[in-house]
Amino acid sequence: MKKIVRIPVILAGTLIMTLVVVFFWATGPVITTPFFGSEYFRKSLDLTDSLKKHGIAVDDSLQAGFAEVSITPGILFRNEIIPGDQFVRVPLAGYGARKGAPATGVHDSIFVKAAALKAGTQLIVFITADLLIMPPNIADSVIHLLAVKGFRRENLFFSATHTHSSLGGWGHGFVAEQFAGKENKILERWLVLKISEAIIQAVNDLKPTKMASGNFKAGDFTRNRLVGESGVKNDDFSFIYLEQINGKKAVIGSFAAHATTMGDENMEISADYPGYWARKMEDTSVDHALFFAGSMGSQRPVSKGEGFGKPKFMGEALADSLNRYLTAACPTAKMILFPVTTRLPLPEYHIRLSKHRNLSTLLSKKLMSLPENPCLQAIRMGNTVWITTPSDFSGEYAVQIKHQLAAEGIDANVTSFNGSYLGYIIPGKYFYLDKYEPKEMGWFGPYMGDYTMDVIRRITETVIQTRLSQ
């Protein structure tokens, strides 16, 4: 006869109490305190007030320079890293379902590209790369490396194409490794050098330039993936066209649809539809084509075909449409240039567990470190304002911003992945949906979207209501 072992009631009670204490120590309730009474909001007011006091716009002749540097890795299947631009078993970033598996080959080349703009004393550089995001640790290292050459964070406007089929190995922490594979310090340093090289080359290429900007509707190629047809979508393709006088031509394009025409079954490196768009533009009308991920939060691509026929169809169709608009462009050689950058103070950081409970800030940071100085940026170029955000930024929010600035006679665009990353910033009305964007990727509570929109409103007011330098 087996002997029955009974846990004493007191011991069982102690164990239960210990588990309850650990649970409440490791988790916390969803914070529902309105942002406008918070300390982080007051700090943001001070920072944006400083921009209004010290910001000066320049109205002068424009110069521009361009560069592109390949970041296509030579993938070799041996057990060591070979000196130079060749790596072994580079993980393919983009989908957690791949579990950090390495790329099996290169379908199409990937690049980092830069376009430098200068008017009077103002110098800014647009930088984008065929990467999932512009990794915060990489952007921080580029800023540190270029500081000796006089560059500041305010000079650099980062983005990425957001392809989900590019090289990984650049992320810190557990969460980053789920999407980008195991961290590779050598690859990180290599990326920093490549991005810095493109920036310096673009600045060294500065020449007198004319510029035009605009947008066109491309609604057939994007959908609201969060709530479907009942939701708003941002369907503008925005562009900046730059033409050096007696020199090269370039275009910066931006569209709000995830670069996910290729799913997690693809294991080859590819720039997805932004790569096909860039190649078609460079084959037909410009020397350099840079793609900036637009307000991709909640928006998916819509295309036709199978396999790599899907990104090809979408990218080349967008290029064909843009080419028609470029024929009517009227570039000018003189304009207002005014960039602003403000740090974005943050609420408490929590990874969501349920509708009502979060992982504690301490444990959340163990899983994924946050950038130390996330920022928002806006740049006025004539009657055009481009805004950069540190997130997958909501297409619905971007439509609101565009409508608000259109009333001021301003053509606006909002881009994502500006060198910091704060997850998804989407309207608070979606916060309690049991879906990927608000649940797994909504890290700062239900008011993060409204708070960010308030700061964007203040910085855009600064760049459109400015005094000109003498």
Q: What is the pLDDT of residues 417-458, one digit of tens each?
A: 999 999 999 999 999 999 999 998 999 999 999 999 999 999
Cβ(118)–Cβ(64) below 8 Å: yes
User: Number of structural domains, the chain?
Assistant: 1
Tell me the average pLDDT across 19-36: 68
| Residue 341 in domain | yes
pLDDT bucket at 173, cuts 50 / 70 / 90: confident
Instruction: List Cα–Cα distances, 41 to 51, 347, 377, in angstroms.
Output: 16, 9, 17
Which burial class, exposed, middle or buried, applies to 104 when counting CB atoms under 10 A from its CB (0-12, 13-18, 19+)?
A: middle
**pLDDT single digits (tens) 368-401:** 777 788 999 999 999 999 999 999 999 999 999 9
- CA separation for the pair 161, 166 (Å, rounded): 10
Confidence at residue 468, expressed as pLDDT on a 0 to 100 scale: 58
What's the first-to-final CA gap in the chain, in angstroms?
Answer: 98
Please name the amino acid found at residue 223. R
Whether 202 contacts 114, CB under 8 Å: yes
Report the relative pairing of strands 357-359 and 299-301 from DSSP bridges: unpaired
CA–CA dist 194, 180 (Å, integer): 19
- Residue 12 lies inside a defined structural domain of this protein: no
The Cα angle at residue 119 between residues 117 and 125, in degrees rounded to 5 = 20
What is the model's pLDDT at position 54?
74
**For every residue of 336-381, which 3-state class applies, written as one string?**
EEEEEEEECCCCCCCCECCCCEEECHHHHHHHCCCCCCCEEEEEEE
Question: How many Å apart are CA 305 and CA 261, to the nearest integer?
Answer: 10
Q: Which residue has the higher pLDDT, 6 or 155?
A: 155
For residue 195, what is the enclosing H or E element?
A: helix 185-204
Please name the helix (run of DSSP H) or strand (run of DSSP E) that holds residue 9, with its range, or none. helix 9-26
Residue 207, strand partner residues: 64
Q: Which residues form the domain of 339? A: 23-470
Look up residue 104 and give its two tokens. 């099996």
Least confident of 54-63, 157-166, 449-458: 54-63
According to DSSP, the β-strands at 105-106 and 268-269 are: parallel
Query: The tokens 């939701």 sit on which residue?
Result: 231
Give pTM, 2 decimals: 0.92
CA–CA dist 385, 465 (Å, integer): 12
The answer to whether residue 320 sits within a structural domain is yes
The residues facing 59 across adjacent strands are: 336
| CA 204 to chain CA mean position, Å | 26
Long-range Cβ pairs for the range 363-371 (8 Å, 24+): 363/26, 364/443, 366/173, 366/174, 367/173, 367/174, 367/175, 368/172, 368/173, 368/174, 368/175, 368/176, 369/172, 369/173, 370/346, 370/422, 371/136, 371/140, 371/419, 371/420, 371/421, 371/422
- Please give the average per-residue pLDDT across 95-110, as a whole number: 93
Asked, for residue 216, whether it belongs to a domain, the answer is: yes
Report d(CA 351, CA 290) in Å as an integer: 33
Q: How many CB atoms lie within 10 A of CB 16?
A: 10
- Of 373, 364, 384, which is closest to residue 421 (Cα–Cα)? 373
Quote the mean pLDDT of the chain: 90
Distance (Å, whole) CA 448 – CA 214: 30
What number is the average pLDDT over the span 94-116? Answer: 95
The whole-angstrom separation of Cα 97 and Cα 267 is 12
Summarize pLDDT for 201-242 with one digit per residue, the tens. Answer: 999 999 999 999 999 999 999 999 999 988 899 999 999 999
The tens digit of pLDDT for each residue in 310-365 reads 999 999 999 999 999 999 999 999 999 999 999 999 998 888 888 788 888 888 88
Residues paired with 301 in a beta bridge: 222
Residue 4 belongs to a domain = no
What's the CA gap between 112 and 197, in Å, rounded? Answer: 9
Q: How many CB atoms lie within 10 A of CB 31?
A: 15
What Cα–Cα distance (Å) separates residue 293 from each residue in 53, 353, 378, 384, 418?
31, 29, 15, 17, 10
Measure the CA–CA gap between 87 and 365, rounded to whole angstroms: 30
Does residue 18 sit within a domain?
Answer: no
Per-residue pLDDT at 323: 98
Q: What is the pLDDT of residue 469?
A: 53
Would 16 be classed as within a structural domain? no
User: Is residue 194 a part of any domain in this protein?
Assistant: yes
